[in-house]
A and B are shown apart, each in its own frame.
Chain A
Amino acid sequence: DAKTTQPPSMDCAEGRAANLPCNHSTISGNEYVYWYRQIHSQGPQYIIHGLKNNETNEMASLIITEDRKSSTLILPHATLRDTAVYYCIVGRSQGNLIFGKGTKLSVKP
């Protein structure tokens, strides 16, 4: 079973920040938080991962709470092409990633 909880769907206006929450209250000390997204009929795409500290790359920012029980993926300026299902996954460095149902993000004009 997936060890994360995400809202099934969210809407975001184009150009605004999209903040996608994820709860992972049973995360272990050696487990990372990964985010992937899947655009319709394509394979999932890796976005970002983190352990304790907040992380940022060219695609997104990842904010992890101090107790590590939840995190938020931030797309700073959402575009229509960011419409996708976003998956939050926890796993060990060599763990096999178990995908849940994710959050379907719809970016609207």
Chain B
Amino acid sequence: ETGVTQTPRHLVMGMTNKKSLKCEQHLGHNAMYWYKQSAKKPLELMFVYSLEERVENNSVPSRFSPECPNSSHLFLHLHTLQPEDSALYLCASSQDENRAPYGYTFGSGTRLTVV
């Protein structure tokens, strides 16, 4: 366990379904991130939250909707996805620190299959 927990580990959903991915950290970090990793592609940064405010949205389609109710929890709400959205979705957290860099702590990811 890394300290960042993602649920579910695996998810199969139809294109008309609505589902949510959950990420939880109790590391005292103030920044949380969603990444997407498709087969044979580098990790793609999707969203960044710092102190519960979204600070970056990397041109992600609106069928992906993030939510950060507090600094320990991050959700990714999914609706009307496409098969090409099938991927490993990774959550990460880090200390939001101006003065020094800190490494990211990643969860184990949710393997999403859209059918």
Contact = CB atoms under 8 A, between A and B. Distances in A.
B67 interface: no
B115 interface: no
A43 B101 contact: no
A43 B97 contact: no
Given A43-B107, A43-B108, A44-B106, A101 B96 contact: no
B74 interface: no
A96 B45 contact: yes
Contacts of A36: 103-104
B97 A93 contact: yes
Given A49-B101, A94-B97, A96-B33, A43 B45 contact: no
Contacts, number: 54
A2 interface: yes
Nearest to B100: A93
Contact of A45 (B48, B99, B100, B106): B106
**Interface size classification for chain A:** 20 to 34
B53 interface: no
Contact of A94 (B92, B96, B105, B107): B96
Nearest to A48: B103
B103 A46 contact: yes
Contact of B98 (A2, A94, A97): A94
Contacts of B98: 93-94
Interface string A84-106: 00000001111011111110000
Interface of B: 2, 4, 33, 35, 42-43, 45, 48, 56, 88, 90, 92, 96-101, 103-109, 111
Closest 3 CB pairs of A and B: A43-B106, A46-B103, A99-B43
